[in-house]
């Protein structure tokens, strides 16, 4: 059973017109204003029915909506329609009258109505009630794709097959309530087209602009339309771990791919590491959906290897989901209020102001969610001015809400924040976290009860990738908590002491280094961070002892390279005197070397000792001379570590040592190719070497000739080693295109309080 009574008159009308196009196979002209002449839709021509009967002439479609669940239609409900039919018949505009309704229709009612409409002049009459409409939704995947909101209006087990239902339940369990409120926006249409064309889509927008909602629709549609195995993941490595080369229909959904509330360089580095695997995953017919906040993605682009993965650069894939039309805003606001938790009295009182809310420049979907939840409107006075302030000052408003929480609720949010937005469930606290709770005047039992009370408003319990955890209902709540931290020195100290150090290094900066959304620690807390870093020897992200130690060191060096001021680095180097020695001898490959990144940062700040600089220069130069890695020549920042004499000596060595054996170097690179790897990507380090040699000697005709010959050889080898072709035979996700624009005189909010 689908709760069609919760759609509202406007959405129900759109559903009926979509059914007409999809199920009845007609191109329907829609009439969306009150001056529709008694028609919600119309078409002219012949309609061949499944029983062999054909109807022809001028067709009129009328939609009869009721907000009462289980209501049965009566002949008296349509008395007003009969006079309209007579008028249309006199104008030769109604031969066949089709009535669609979400009310129940008995056999006796159908006979009476057919008789009345024929008496009014209609040659034929057809009525389709709630049972028929529900059958069409259940039976037509394509219809559900065009009106994806129906996924949230009923029991998914009635729609999806057993396998797809299990996938959808596991991934979208926490979003079922939101799916019922979905509005089919132009951003969704663009995303669906991108996913069809490229098998990849990156949804970019400001916080709370609806990225996750669109991603959830794409995931649900994929599970339904082409039986995709939907997997929601959080890290690049988890994509590789969960990729099954024998499964040709997987959809990988990664929310906040480059950081939740701030840019995380470790995630970008991780994506750069696996771009080759991602290309293979897409070629096999699988799909990838990513989301990112706009300011985080703009920062990530500086380090993403877009040349190795051109889809990052293609404008039709990177979609700004904030560009909502006024009609889309109205529908979003209507859906949330109609299906939210506000009482009828509130909806009636706020109705006169909803048009101005939807038209506000700072309206985003998250505003609609908050307005529909009594938790956020307890002290809201319903006037034009106060509602405008509610929309305009949305960040400050959420901060005020968090500040007014009771002690245990604040502590519960602190636990989620200290866990970097993923508090494992059931909750098990480390000693530092337990101590933090005591400092916050709370305990585990009280926090657990508070989380249950906050569930659905500020917090939510979800299951993803086989793990259960508590997280913020929306990342903007994490933003608000972060702002609270920055304004409270005592709370900031508790946070630094109580957070898991690995998660802490992804949220803080020691001093202001320009990372938007980060918690900037003052110098008074530097000593505490250094103490905690000194004890950071293993990473929980890896199971083996060696990998755990390697991962911890990589996280530490990345933190020092990207998130620390000169003052902090000076204090840290004084405490860890072995660090400099350890970064002077980086391993291949230099593009992914955090040792090199840290050395460059220290050199820029004047903190890299000369002997360490010289050792590093010798090592990276050797990699270039051997033809293994040319970053020392191609990367201006790394090249700046070499003095003029060292750089000149390196260029000459490449000319006299690497160039004479360039064919041997190429064959060595080719021999290391894995058949599953993209050959062009595999040879990128060799072509980088060719470019570096060519740029170093731009006037040499002989060198240009050798480089050109090698490029030809590389291309011939790539052509002889084609990658596996796309084996997907799935049907594209298809969505209804918007109808022609009309001047709507009836407000969409008319029945929001019914």
- Rounded CA-CA distance 329/385 in Å is 19
Q: What are phi and psi of 135, to 5 degrees?
A: -65, -40
Per-residue model confidence as pLDDT tens digits over 49-71: 655 567 788 888 888 999 888 89
Any bridge partners for residue 29, and if so which? 42
Any bridge partners for residue 200, and if so which? 288
Distances (CA, A) of 548 to 242, 467, 544, 689: 20, 20, 6, 33
Are 262 and 515 a contacting pair, CB within 8 Å?
yes
Provide the residue ranges of all domains of the chain, joining segments of one domain with +: 4-139, 142-320, 326-392, 612-724
Per-residue model confidence as pLDDT tens digits over 432-483: 888 889 989 999 999 999 999 998 889 988 877 678 899 998 888 888 888 8
Per-residue model confidence as pLDDT tens digits over 483-519: 888 788 888 888 888 888 888 898 899 999 988 888 8
Position 734 scores a pLDDT of: 56
CATH number belonging to domain 142-320: 3.40.50
- Rounded CA-CA distance 149/130 in Å is 17
Does residue 589 have a cis peptide bond before it, meaning omega lies within 30 degrees of 0?
yes
Q: How confident is the model at residue 33 (pLDDT cuts 50, 70, 90)?
A: very low
Per-residue model confidence as pLDDT tens digits over 109-137: 999 999 999 999 999 998 999 998 888 88
pTM: 0.70
pLDDT above 70 (res 398): yes
pLDDT above 50 (res 728): no
Q: Other CB atoms closer than 10 Å to residue 301's CB: what's the count? A: 15
Only one residue has tokens 């990658």, namely 723
Domains 4-139 and 142-320 share a fold: no
Least confident of 185-199, 546-560, 728-742: 728-742
Average pLDDT value for residue range 255-281: 86
- Of residues 282 and 163, more confidently modeled: 282
Q: Which residues contact 130 (CB under 8 A, 6 or more apart)?
A: 4, 101, 102, 103, 104, 105
- Rounded CA-CA distance 391/405 in Å is 21
Q: Selecting from 2.60.40, 3.40.1350, 1.10.3300, 3.40.1000, what CATH number does the domain 4-139 have?
A: 3.40.1350
- Of residues 312 and 529, more confidently modeled: 529
- Rounded CA-CA distance 71/64 in Å is 12
Position 1 scores a pLDDT of: 66
């Amino acid at each position: 059973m689908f709760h069609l009574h919760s759609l509202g008159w406007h959405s129900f009308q759109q559903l009926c017109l979509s059914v007409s196009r999809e199920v009845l196979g007609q191109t329907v002209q829609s009439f969306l204003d009150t001056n529709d002449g008694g028609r919600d839709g119309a078409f002219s021509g012949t309609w061949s029915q499944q029983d062999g009967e054909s109807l022809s002439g001028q067709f009129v479609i009328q939609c009869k909506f009721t907000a009462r669940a289980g209501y049965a239609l009566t002949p008296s409900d349509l008395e007003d329609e009969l006079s309209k039919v007579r008028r249309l018949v006199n104008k030769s505009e109604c031969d066949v009258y089709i009535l669609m309704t979400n009310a129940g229709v008995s056999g006796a009612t159908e006979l009476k109505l057919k008789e009345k409409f024929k008496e009014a002049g209609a040659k034929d009459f057809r009525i389709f009630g709630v049972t028929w409409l529900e059958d069409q939704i259940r039976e037509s995947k394509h219809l559900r794709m065009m009106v994806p909101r129906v996924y949230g209006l009923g029991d998914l087990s009635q729609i999806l097959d057993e396998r797809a239902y299990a996938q959808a339940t596991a991934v979208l369990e926490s979003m079922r309530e939101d799916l019922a409120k979905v509005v089919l926006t132009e951003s969704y249409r663009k995303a669906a087209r991108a996913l069809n064309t490229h098998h990849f889509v990156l949804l970019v927008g400001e916080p709370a602009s609806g990225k996750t909602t669109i991603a959830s629709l794409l995931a649900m549609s994929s599970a339904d339309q082409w039986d995709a195995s939907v997997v929601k993941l959080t890290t690049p490595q988890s994509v590789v771990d969960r990729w099954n080369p024998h499964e040709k229909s997987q959809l990988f959904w990664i929310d906040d791919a480059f950081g939740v509330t701030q840019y995380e360089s470790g995630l970008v580095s991780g994506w750069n590491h696996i771009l080759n695997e991602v290309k293979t995953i897409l070629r096999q017919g699988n799909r990838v959906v990513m989301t990112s906040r706009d300011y985080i993605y703009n920062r990530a682009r500086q380090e993403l290897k877009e040349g190795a993965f051109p889809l990052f650069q293609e404008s039709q894939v990177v979609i700004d989901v904030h560009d909502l039309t006024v009609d889309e805003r109205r529908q979003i606001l209507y859906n949330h209020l109609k299906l939210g938790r506000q009482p009828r009295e509130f909806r009636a009182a706020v109705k006169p102001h909803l048009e101005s809310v939807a038209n506000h420049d700072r309206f985003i979907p998250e505003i609609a969610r908050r307005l529909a939840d009594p938790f956020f409107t307890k002290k809201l006075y319903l006037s034009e001015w106060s509602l405008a302030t509610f929309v305009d000052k949305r960040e400050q408003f959420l901060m005020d809400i968090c500040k007014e929480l009771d002690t245990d609720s604040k502590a519960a949010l602190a636990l989620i924040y200290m866990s970097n937005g993923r508090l494992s469930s059931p909750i098990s606290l480390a000693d530092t976290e337990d101590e933090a709770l005591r400092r916050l005047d709370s305990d585990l039992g009280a926090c657990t009860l508070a989380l249950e009370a906050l569930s659905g408003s500020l917090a939510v319990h979800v299951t993803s990738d086989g793990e259960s955890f508590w997280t913020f209902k929306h990342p903007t709540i994490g933003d608000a908590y972060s702002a609270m931290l920055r304004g409270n020195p005592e709370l900031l100290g508790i946070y630094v002491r109580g957070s898991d150090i690995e998660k802490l290094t992804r949220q803080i900066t020691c001093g202001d280094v320009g990372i938007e959304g980060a918690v900037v620690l003052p110098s008074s807390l530097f000593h505490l961070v250094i103490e905690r870093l000194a004890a950071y020897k293993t990473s929980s992200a890896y199971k083996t002892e060696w990998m755990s130690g390697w991962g911890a060191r990589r996280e530490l060096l990345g933190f020092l390279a990207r998130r620390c001021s000169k003052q902090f680095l000076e204090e840290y180097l004084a405490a860890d005197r072995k660090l400099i020695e350890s970064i002077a001898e980086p391993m291949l490959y230099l593009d992914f070397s955090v040792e090199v990144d840290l050395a460059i940062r220290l050199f820029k700040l004047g903190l890299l000792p000369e002997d360490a600089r010289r050792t590093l220069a010798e090592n990276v130069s050797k990699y270039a001379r051997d033809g293994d890695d040319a970053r020392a020549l191609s990367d201006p920042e790394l090249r700046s570590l070499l003095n003029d004499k060292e750089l000149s000596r390196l260029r000459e060595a490449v000319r006299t040592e690497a160039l004479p054996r360039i064919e041997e170097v190429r064959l060595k690179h080719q021999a290391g190719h894995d058949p599953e790897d993209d050959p062009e990507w595999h040879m990128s380090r060799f072509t980088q070497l060719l470019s570096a040699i060519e740029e170093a000697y731009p006037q040499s005709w002989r060198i240009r000739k050798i480089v050109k010959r090698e490029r030809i050889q590389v291309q011939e080898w790539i052509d002889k080693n084609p990658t596996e072709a796309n084996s997907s035979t799935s049907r594209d996700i298809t969505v209804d295109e918007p109808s022609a624009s009309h001047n709507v005189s009836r407000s969409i909010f008319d029945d929001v309080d019914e």
